[in-house]
Amino acid sequence: MKILLCNDDGIHAPGLAILAAEIKKIAEVVIVAPAREQSAMGHAITMSDPLRAEEYYKNGDFFGWAASGTPADCVKLALFALFDDRPDMVISGINQGSNTGINTLYSGTVSAATEGRINDIPSFAVSLTSYTSKEFAPAARFASKLALQMESLELPKGVSLNVNVPAIPEDEIKGVRITRQGLAVYEEIYHRRTDPKGSVYFWLDGERRQEENDPHIDERAVRAGYISVTPIHYDLTHYQTVQTLSEKMVNL
């Protein structure tokens, strides 16, 4: 089995290195990741600038390809430019910080997995739900176990998995909970500031609004000490509204 690894924290990120070391125990690993951090890039792709990919070495050994573009760009490069053989799976991560709720839409980590699934490759994203903890090993071990089960899961066409691992000691993780994406949004706050040259700039901040009281929401599962596994799909059509609009827009 050949597994393509990607992320949005950049090829230098410790979460990627720990994931690669664990996945190499079960499969051949190839890595194409952004040369610099691309967090919150969503599913952006590069069209107006050339893409560059260079060999990246860690401790003197070849580690993977560092690309100038976004996470989705990295997967596209791997599939259509850098390698002759398609990977059997795409794993994106391990992300530093959670990718739950509405954040899933903004996540470059999730988008790399989605890009793999768009191209009919079994894919999942995995995140450690902390911006400070560097204990990626539990998430890496879970990713390895999940990779071995992906084929037997027989996910529908277009469906990938979004995995969030709580940043707690491994022996305190209560298990796995299959979840849905939370829908709580943020109260957006832009702090207006002035730089030393007198120019105004804005810094985004915000607080999450109260979520629904449902233990099977991704964020609540993580807070309760469970690994959250959410099946996601890139088809954005709201099918219930298709028929309604067809009936109401007949005179347009």
Residue 126 CB partners (closer than 8 Å, separation 6+): 19, 91, 92, 93, 94, 95, 139, 142, 143, 146, 163, 164, 165
Round to whole Å and give the CA distance between 51 and 187. 36
| pLDDT tens-place string over residues 143-163 | 999 999 999 999 999 999 999
Contact 69, 101 (CB under 8 A): no
Band the pLDDT of 210: cuts 50, 70, 90: low
Structure tokens at 213: 């009281």
pTM for this entry: 0.93
Q: Domain coordinates of the chain in residue numbers?
A: 2-183+212-248
Round to whole Å and give the CA distance between 201 and 194. 6
What's the chain's average pLDDT?
94
Classify 2-183+212-248 by CATH class: alpha beta
Band the pLDDT of 211: cuts 50, 70, 90: low
Report CA-CA distances (Å) from 23 to 18, 49, 139, 143, 208. Answer: 9, 33, 11, 8, 34
Q: What is the pLDDT of residue 246?
A: 87
Mean pLDDT of 32-38: 96
Residue 19 has pLDDT above 70, yes or no: yes
| pLDDT tens-place string over residues 39-53 | 989 999 999 999 999
Is the pLDDT higher at 123 or at 247? Answer: 123
